Each structure stands twice: as structure tokens, then as C-alpha cells.
Chains A and B, each alone.
Chain A
Amino acid sequence: MVTLDSIALAIVSGIANGMLLFLAAVGLTLIFGVLDVLNFAHGSLYMLGAYFTYFLVSDGGLLASLPGSFWLALVVAPLLVALVGVVMERFIIRPVYDQDHEFQLLLTFGLVLVIDNGARILWGTDFRSVSPPGLIDFQINLLGSGYPFYNVFLIIVGALAALTMWLVFERTRVGKIVRASSQDRGMANALGVNVPLVFTGTFLLGSLLAGLGGALAAPYQSIQPTMGESIIIESFIIVVIGGLGSFGGAFAGALLIGVVNSLAFLYLPSLQPVIPFLLVAVVLLTRPAGLFGKEVAA
């Protein structure tokens, strides 16, 4: 029996899940938009974000004895992931900027194998989990039902991250320089924009957000070396729906997948697993460049 309340709750749940997907996917689309590299290893960065959080806050972890360790980890873990991202960009991906996309895909796919298996060897295949921080481990009343505040917190953080990024890209000079580089990197370079630095910075930002997504997922999902593999598939779906390289597209795509999944649960549960792929098919048939993509490169 589907009531209005249950629809509303499903939508809220879809948005909460969508925000986590957004944080994972936005770096993928940013890096593609600016660097023109499709980074398969982006999901692995998300996985690292979750593991770093676990190792920072679990018993014996670096931050475990500090008050508010989860909150510190929410800052430190993404920074560590960003560091990994910068090293990845500088030393592994940079040498292949001028190579074919196939070559880049093979390379970043190789990175997935190295990072995921590295995690497996270093940390084992046991599942890990992180307790939600006490401060936000409570419920709010949503349409007469108890609803976890942590999920509301996910919505807040995701929305803040999206808003901050939007402001940076629309209002700041640095953001505009990044956009100029993504529109015509050769021209930006020829006009004095340090494009290699823009690339590294973009990779850093994308990795930071993936790390933040992973850190936020730590109290929400079990942590295992393969968690990057499932998130990268969802991320690809989102950025294809939203339009490869489009920041707004990643946001819309993530929320769309989250909410449509949720509504499908109510109305078409048997179709739910294939709904994201159906959405991709519909979008590609009607708007091949994605919801927010440019139809033809300017």
C-alpha cells in the first residue's frame, strides 16, 4: 500500500543516498571535464576514504583517543585521499595525457587492480565498520516516522559541498580558470594559464570529494576492498546520465538515480536493479550528450 507519506519518505531516502553518490561521482565528471581522462580508479579513492576513516577512528587508530575523532577523520581522511590522488595524477596519469583514451582507460583500470588488491593484501578481506558519531546518532520525526539524522546529515553535507563547488566555479577567478581550461585547455595554456597545475588541482579536488564520500559512507556501509568497484559503476551511470564533464549533471544525475531507485522500490520493485540502466538507455537515446551535456563541442 503506497501512501503519500511513504512516497515522501522514499524521496527523502533517495536524496540522502543520492548525495553519497554525488560525492563519489562528481570528481569523476570533474576530472573528465577538465583533464579529459576517464579515471576508473576513482571508486578506489572512495574506498580509500572509507578505510582511512576506519583506521583513524577504530580502536588503536591515530585519532581514536581524541574527542570528536569522527569529525577529525572527516577532514583528515579526505585530505589523505587527496594526497593519493595528487601522487596518482603527477606520476602515473600525467605521462599519458596525450595518449589515446583506450590507453588511459587501460592504465586507470590497472590502477584499480593495484589499489584494490593492495588494500586486500594490506588490510585483508574482512569487512570493517565504523560507528556513527554520537552527536548525530539520533532520530528526527519525519511525517510521523522516526528518521535517522545521519541521513539528513548526508543531505546537508552533500548540498553544502555542491553549493560550495557551484560558488567556486561560478564566482571565483580560480573556478573560472578551471572552467576555461576545461573548455579549451590548449588556449588557456597559450594564454598563460598554468594548465598542469589546474589539472593537478582538479584531481586533488575530485579525490578530496571521493574521499569525503568514502568517509561519510564509513558509518553507513560495510567497508571492504571491493566497495570501490560498485561505486564506480554507479558513478559512471550518473555522469553518463548527467552529461560527461558536467558538474550540474553529476548533481542532477545522482539525485535522479537516488530518487528514481527509491520510487521504483515502491512501484516496480522487480525492476529496481535495472532501473539505472534503463535511465541511461533513455537518456542516451533522447539526449546522447546527457541531461546537462553539450550536444556538440563548441
Chain B
Amino acid sequence: MSILTVDDIHTYYGQSHVLHGVSLDIESGESVALLGRNGAGKTTTLRSILGMTPPREGEITFKGEPIDGLEPYQIARRGIGIVPEERRVFPELTVGDNIDVVMDDDGEWSKDRVYDVFPALREHQDQLGGQLSGGQQQMLTIARALVTDPDLLLLDEPSEGLAPNIVADLKSLLSDVLDTGITVLLTEQNTEFAFDLAERAYILSKGDVAWRGDIETLQESDDVIGKYLSVGAVEVD
């Protein structure tokens, strides 16, 4: 059954109309990629879901209930975890404190469990978030999202700005996380990274869904990839 339904949402930044009727449907337990060029509206879609930039029109339903108009923290507490773009760890808190401040004590993810998945974090648990390397910070944001005990994990460009070997490590760590059965919606520029992790994809273009389907189908559709995802071209809104 659907865990998240996004129905025809329109989102604005001030006067600027960014999302023009995006609709998504995510099943419980699946892992879905949200693809598209820079400026296509991927991050805005995630921000809309979480209420950080509430849509002006359309409806968002999570676990059968509408979540429009709720504060981000209320939506988060209903079971949506976010791994934001540009990582945004709490720079002046230690790794351990970054995790503690958002921990759901009754959740499935304890501190030990995330440390087991990300041993590097245990090693640096007393270091300040701002002093970690980029890869470590990305692990921390994933761990931080997991301990909020989400049913749906939103990942915004997790591979962005990381060295290739780190991206590979991150990919294998994330697939371990996916194996736990958590639902994932991730945005990516790195199509290969997304293809390896996701089962299904939505492609956004100019603030609307341009294509939807299985990853296997997408991988074989050179025309779709060429039109919406090819590297080097930046979509102009």
C-alpha cells in the first residue's frame, strides 16, 4: 500500500512558481529515485513533503493521513526522516550529541545500532560535527535521520561533493540500510548511484513529472536519459 502520496502540488518560493503539479506515489518498503537536472524541482519536492516549503496547492498524504499545513517537526515525528542537501550537521555539537538531540528513544534505531552500521562515527563520537570530513558528515546525517525512527527516509543528493571512493562506501552502507526494509525517496544527480540503489524512478523537468517507471526500463531508455538526465546540461527554469 502507499506510504506517501503527493497529489498535484504547486510550490512557490515567493513569487517564483517552482513545482507545477508534481504527483508521486510511494509504496511502503520500496526505494524510489527522484531524478532530473539542477533546478528541475527535486529538492523543492522533498522540502514540500516535509513542510519546509509548504505547497500552496495540492495534497500530501502520509500513512493515509493528510500532512499539509503541519509544521516540519510534526511531519518528521509522524515518521519522515531527512538527509538534507549539503549535509547540514550541527557543527558545534559532537557526533554523539548530533545523534542524541533528535533520537527517538523508543525507536528501532539505537545509537549503538547506527554506530554498528557506521563504525567511523563511533570512532569520532566526541569530535565536533563541523570537524568531520565530508563523507563522515554524510554518514552522520544518515545516522541522525535514522535515529528519529522514520518509516520514510528522504535523501537529498547524498553523493554530492564526495570523492568517488567515498561514494562507493556510502553506496554499500546505504544498501545495508535499505535492506532493513525502510522506505526511501532519494534525489540524485549521480544517476549510477541512484540506479544501484533504487527500484523505481520519477524524472522531474521544469517542476513537473516528465517520466516515471522502473529503474531497469530507465537504464535501457537512452532517449529519456539523454533528454532529461545527461551530464553537463543545466535546466533553466
Contacts and interface: CB of A to CB of B under 8 A. Distances in A.
Given A177-B101, A180-B101, A184-B88, A190 B93 contact: no
A193 B90 contact: no
A195 B90 contact: no
A125 interface: no
Given A173-B101, A180-B101, A190 B73 contact: yes
A191 B92 contact: no
What class of interface size applies to chain B in its complex with A?
20 to 34
Contacts of A105: none
A298 B130 contact: yes
A190 B92 contact: no
A191 B76 contact: yes
Contacts of A6: none
Contact of B82 (A191, A193, A195, A196): A191
Given A191-B144, A192-B104, A176 B97 contact: yes
Contacts of B52: 186, 189-190
Interface in B96-150: 97-98, 100-102, 104, 130, 144-145, 148
A195 B100 contact: no
Interface in A2-20: none
Interface string A189-209: 111111110000000000000
Nearest to A189: B72
A180 B101 CA distance: 7
B102 A191 contact: yes
A201 to B, nearest CB: 14
A222 interface: no
B84 A193 contact: no
What class of interface size applies to chain A in its complex with B?
10 to 19
B71 to A, nearest CB: 7
B55 interface: no
Given A173-B100, A298-B130, A191 B81 contact: yes
Contact of B102 (A183, A192, A298): A192
Contact of B50 (A177, A190, A194, A195): A190
B148 A180 contact: no
A287 interface: no
B233 to A, nearest CB: 30
A181 to B, nearest CB: 9
Nearest to B96: A176
A119 interface: no
A179 interface: yes
B201 to A, nearest CB: 24
B91 A183 contact: yes
Contact of B90 (A173, A183, A189, A190): A183
A184 B87 CA distance: 11
B17 interface: no
A185 to B, nearest CB: 10
B152 to A, nearest CB: 13
B101 A190 contact: no
Interface in A145-194: 173, 176-177, 179-180, 183-184, 186-194
B56 interface: no
Given A183-B93, A184-B90, A190 B100 contact: no
B157 to A, nearest CB: 15
Interface in B53-78: 71-73, 76-77
A184 B81 CA distance: 16
Interface of A: 173, 176-177, 179-180, 183-184, 186-196, 298
5 contacts: A190-B72, A191-B144, A191-B148, A192-B104, A194-B73
Q: Which 6 A-B pairs have the closest CB atoms?
A: A192-B76, A298-B91, A191-B102, A189-B72, A180-B90, A180-B101
